[in-house]
Structure 1
Amino acid sequence: MKISKTWWGQQFLAALENFTDSGRLARGRSYSTDNRIKTWKLAKGIASATLRGNINPYFGVYKEPTYHVSVKMLPLSGAQWEQVIALFSQKASVISKLLINDMPESIENEFKAADTHLLPQSYKDFIVQCDCPDYAVPCKHIAGVCFRLAQQFDHNPFLLFEMRGLSPEKLRKELLKSPLGKILAQGQETTQPSLIPAEHFYTQPKPQELPKQITSHQFWQGQKPLPKAIESPQEALIPALVIKKGGDYPEFWQKQTSFISVMEDFYLRMRKLCLRELS
């Protein structure tokens, strides 16, 4: 089963497979879960994590240890980024996708034209560190952090640019400076109707003045008879909007199956259960 769902995440992991054995990678995959990763931080292109290790008397480890891991990628130079961004700015198919936070499938062609690459191709593209006693690089803890990184890239592919030394904000700023970027940005701007603010999120009860004198019957039964029929609520234009808003793979969802399909199955079973209880 592929732990990454996108082509860029899978290619990121393929670089690991090129310089380490499959058994070590299989063990590393188990270290990418929340059960193993105690803390996680991804900032300024560096992934830092603390992982729960195993007791191993062979290495003199008799208590469950905590290992500190850091993974970063070799950053590109400023001149390289200038050349790559200039190539981006010449292709509408590339710059238009980048401006809507999408990763073009042909993006490596522009990096190749600049005699470099975005996705890693070998161990030389990684700068890793782990304080475990395993001498091999990458160890299973480093592999676990790389697997977690691949999952992060699935949700936000522009973290790859940050790992290479260019923040997504700066990339967008540089793209908008180009003539083609300005034209495409103007085309993406659409006039949206202004929102009408509401005083309350929920419907508020309206106060009613009570008569000065009221009988016990009027107190319990009310002044007017209740309506015989209740107006049915309007159907939602998009069912389960809150569930679908995050997409199939929201950031908190680490499983391979679609979050929407799981929730659809859950609601279907709950509906059958409620109907069974009512019958």
Structure 2
Amino acid sequence: MPDPDPFWWRDAEPSRPRKVEGGIQINSSRGPVARTWWSQRFLGVLESLGMGGRLSRGRTYARAGQIVALDIDTGGALATVQGSRPAPYQVRVGVPAFGKAEWGAVAQALADDASYAAALLAGEMPRDIERVFEAVGLSLFPAESRDLAMDCSCPDYAVPCKHLAAVFYVLAERFDADPFQILALRGRDREALLAEVRARRAAAEEEAPASGGALADVMDRYWSAGGALDEQLTGPRTPPDALLDQVPPFPIAVRGEQVTELLRPAYRALGSAE
């Protein structure tokens, strides 16, 4: 006769979690969570690693605000997630951080292209920034399962469990609001990266006159725009409703709907009319 209580379920957590007051929750009450291309890419990579079905288990946790605390730092994120048991679970998501030499190569590549520098200074993530990392032998997002460490103190044998999955959704929304947190996971925060890019561009400008006679050689085309100017001036477009993802949840709802979700169709309509 089969064991009515298999060992892998004996310590399994009941389905209904304890309510958390003031927990961290995602703003999206339904539909897709990620609003920007970089957050969509982040979740897409996780799904490509075979985690798609398991990720959906944590969406309800993320929307219910079951995450008590979340800290993002070099090499990963640490979170505390409340389940159905009295003590919340400790969750860790780890990614390998790049070294100084690796970040130097990335910063140099970004400094060499004015369009990348302009987008970063404007707080945008250049759409093809992944190519910059690939060109120096790196991957901005986890490329395979071994690039992603996942730990949770819960008894669930599945990886990712719903607590880990909830953290991934909150991370995606954090990346929507601040794409530089993706880079921070890999070892460079916004201020450090931009400072290095500026320094490298300034050094290149100081060295330019040393070539002697170079300006005279290009005077016939000095004022020409060049064929790639349109591409350089075309930066990534922010979704028209992205601002709503940064608005704190309203204390009241309208017919059960968050105010931000009621406003979202109007923002999108205005954006499509441009």
Q: TM-score, normalised by structure 1?
A: 0.62
- CA separation in 2, counterparts of 1:132 and 1:260? 33
Q: Say whether residues 1:137 and 2:159 are aligned partners.
A: yes
**Counterparts of 1:230-241 in structure 2 under 5 Å?**
none
Superposition deviation, residue 170 in structure 1: 0.7
Q: Rg bigger for which structure?
A: 1
Give 3-state SS (helix, strand or coil) of 1:178's partner: helix
CA contact (8 A) 2:75 2:96 kept: no
Matched, 1:155 2:177: yes
Q: CA deviation at 1:138?
A: 1.8
Shift of 1:134: 1.7
Give me the whole-angstrom Cα distance separating, in 1, the residues matched to 2:53 and 2:87: 22
- Where does residue 32 of structure 1 map in the other structure? 62
Per-residue deviation, 1:261: 6.1
The amino acid of 1:118's aligned partner reads L
**1:51–1:141 Cα contact (<8 Å) kept:** yes
Contact 1:69–1:130 (CA under 8 A) maintained in structure 2? yes
* Paired letter, 1:112: E
| Larger relative helix fraction | 2
Asked if residue 118 in structure 1 is aligned to residue 131 in structure 2, the reply is no
Q: Which residue of 2 aligns with 1:249?
A: 245
Counterpart contact for 1:248–1:258, Cα < 8 Å = no
Question: Which of 193, 201, 211 is equivalent to 1:179?
Answer: 201
Give the unaligned 5+ runs of structure 1: 55-62, 184-243, 266-279
CA RMSD of aligned residues (A): 3.1
Cα distance in 2 for partners of 1:90, 1:8 equals: 22
User: Which residue of structure 1 aligns with residue 260 of structure 2?
Assistant: 259
Say whether the 8 Å CA contact 1:20–1:138 is kept in structure 2.
no
**Which of 77, 80, 87 is matched with 1:50 structurally?**
80
Candidates 186, 189, 192, aligned match of 1:170: 192
Pair 85,24 (structure 1): closer, same or farther in 2 beyond 3 Å: same
Q: Which amino acid aligns with 1:159?
A: Q
Q: Give 1:82 deviation, angstroms.
A: 0.9
Q: 1:176 to 1:258 in 2, by over 3 A?
A: farther
Q: Deviations over 1:123-147 (max 9, x none)?
A: 2222222111122322221111011
The equivalent residue for 1:5 is 35
* Cα deviation 1:155-179 (Å, max 9, x = unaligned): 0000011000111111011011123
Q: Select the residue among 49, 58, 61 that pairs with 1:19.
A: 49
Match of 1:88 among 110, 115, 118: 110
3-state SS of paired residue (2:243): coil
Deviation at 1:81, TM superposition (A): 0.9
Q: Which runs of 5+ in 2 are unaligned?
A: 1-30, 206-239, 251-256, 267-274
Take 1:151 and 1:118, find their aligned partners in 2: how far apart are those partners? 18
8 Å CA contact 1:92–1:180 kept in 2: the answer is: no
Give the letter for the 1:139 counterpart. Answer: C
Code of the residue aligned with 2:246 in structure 1: it is P
Deviations 1:27-85 (A, max 9, x none): 1212223531122233445322211224xxxxxxxx45521111132111221111111
> What SS class does the counterpart of residue 5 from structure 1 fall into?
coil
| Alignment-derived partner of residue 186 in structure 1 | none
Whether 2:71 is the aligned partner of 1:41: answer yes
Identity of aligned residues (%): 33
AA in 1 matched with 2:68: K
CA distance in 2: counterparts of 1:160 and 1:69, whole angstroms: 18
Q: Which amino acid aligns with 1:46?
A: G
Partner of 1:107: 129
Q: Distance in 1 between matches of 2:116 and 2:243?
A: 23
